[in-house]
Amino acid sequence: MDNPVYAGFIRWGKQQNWSKERRKGTTNEFILVKGTHDPIISEELWERTKELRKDKKAPEKHQNMHYLLSGLAKCPECGASMVSQRISRKRKDGSKVWYRYYCCSQWANKKAVCKPNLIKANLLEQQVVERIMSFVKNPNLPEILAKRLGKSTDIKELEKKLKSIEAKIKKLKADEDKYYEYLVDDKKLKILKEEKVLEKISEINKEMEQLEREKENLSTQIDTIRNNTLNIEKITNMLQNFEAIFNNALADKQKELLHTLIKEIRIKKTDKPEERLAEEIILHFSEIDLMKFGKEEEGQKPFEVTYDTVPH
């Protein structure tokens, strides 16, 4: 239908250097003149047909879509990670509009193991981000993290127990040395027989082994609490600056921030995609569930998603 002959025209000079180039010598710089033959279609229809064919030949442009929660959301049916899925719809003018979803990775890879269990990406991302922002803005965040990460444990009491154990070990070592002296002193062996001395040394060794294990456990607990204290400060600082960093970051960085913070998102099981939202949002560092956080820590109503502000 691109041939101008159908509209009553004759084209000159479209093929150049035919003897060498053949069909490769096609050019758009040609002469178009009105022919003497009768046209098959009108010039207007021919022009419209050319434009339509040009539109169809144009490569389809996909929007650059980002998925902030890929891999974090878990399929409500099989528990596998959920991955990105985009679905197109045709507008009345023939153009396409693309919608972002998350779907079960098992279904995406094998198509038969599970169902797609589609989740509207914009709804889930809005819910998760809003919940995180509510969490990081909590004025009691340092105390909450300290409680969750074990800072509230009385380290002084543990240190007191450790010193007591170390004192007992020191005394037992002194007793052990005393009994070894008996073994090389004939006069003392007359007072306490060798078998009895060896029995006492064995008892002391067993008691010291037990105390050494207790000492090691206490030392580990104390070190863990001290390290947690430092970690709490770092985590608190990161969370208190999260909103500013997130809002000024590009999509790739936003995704990285969310994956650093969130361990997994457990999705409500329902047949309606618009109702498939987070039931649990579990954080990496403390196993805090953000969906229960409001009730447990703040005494507030559970979090609710606002649908009226979600773009369609």
226, 114: one domain = yes
What average pLDDT score do residues 167-173 get? 94
Confidence of residue 308 (pLDDT cuts 50, 70, 90): very low
29, 42: one domain = yes
Confidence of residue 298 (pLDDT cuts 50, 70, 90): very low
Name 217's Cβ contacts closer than 8 Å, sequence gap at least 6: none
174, 43: one domain = no
The answer on pLDDT for 65 being more than 50 is: yes
Residue pair 103/82 in contact by the 8 Å Cβ criterion: yes
Antiparallel, parallel or unpaired: β 119-120 and 73-74? unpaired
Confidence of residue 154 (pLDDT cuts 50, 70, 90): low
The answer on pLDDT for 133 being more than 90 is: yes
52, 66: one domain = no
What is the pLDDT, as a whole number, of residue 89?
A: 86
118, 49: one domain = no
**Among residues 41, 57, 73, which one ends one of the domains?**
57
Q: 0.75 cut: is pTM over it?
A: no
Residue linked to tokens 């995704």 = 255
**Count of domains forming the chain:** 2
What is the pLDDT, as a whole number, of residue 272?
A: 85
51, 133: one domain = no
52, 165: one domain = no
The answer on pLDDT for 19 being more than 60 is: no
The answer on pLDDT for 130 being more than 60 is: yes
Antiparallel, parallel or unpaired: β 73-74 and 262-267? parallel
125, 142: one domain = yes
- Per-residue pLDDT of 92-102, as tens digits, reads 887 888 899 99
What is the pLDDT, as a whole number, of residue 61?
A: 52
Question: To the nearest whole number, what is the mean pLDDT of the chain?
Answer: 77
The DSSP string of 182-222 is HHT-HHHHHHS-HHHHHHHHHHHHHHHHHHHHHHHHHHHHH
| DSSP code, position 65 | -
101, 19: one domain = no
**Among residues 34, 57, 80, which one ends one of the domains?**
57
Q: Within 10 Å of residue 17's Cβ, how many Cβ atoms?
A: 10
114, 246: one domain = yes
d(CA 84, CA 251): 15
170, 278: one domain = yes
Which residues span the domain enclosing 46?
A: 4-57
281, 198: one domain = yes
The answer on pLDDT for 185 being more than 70 is: yes
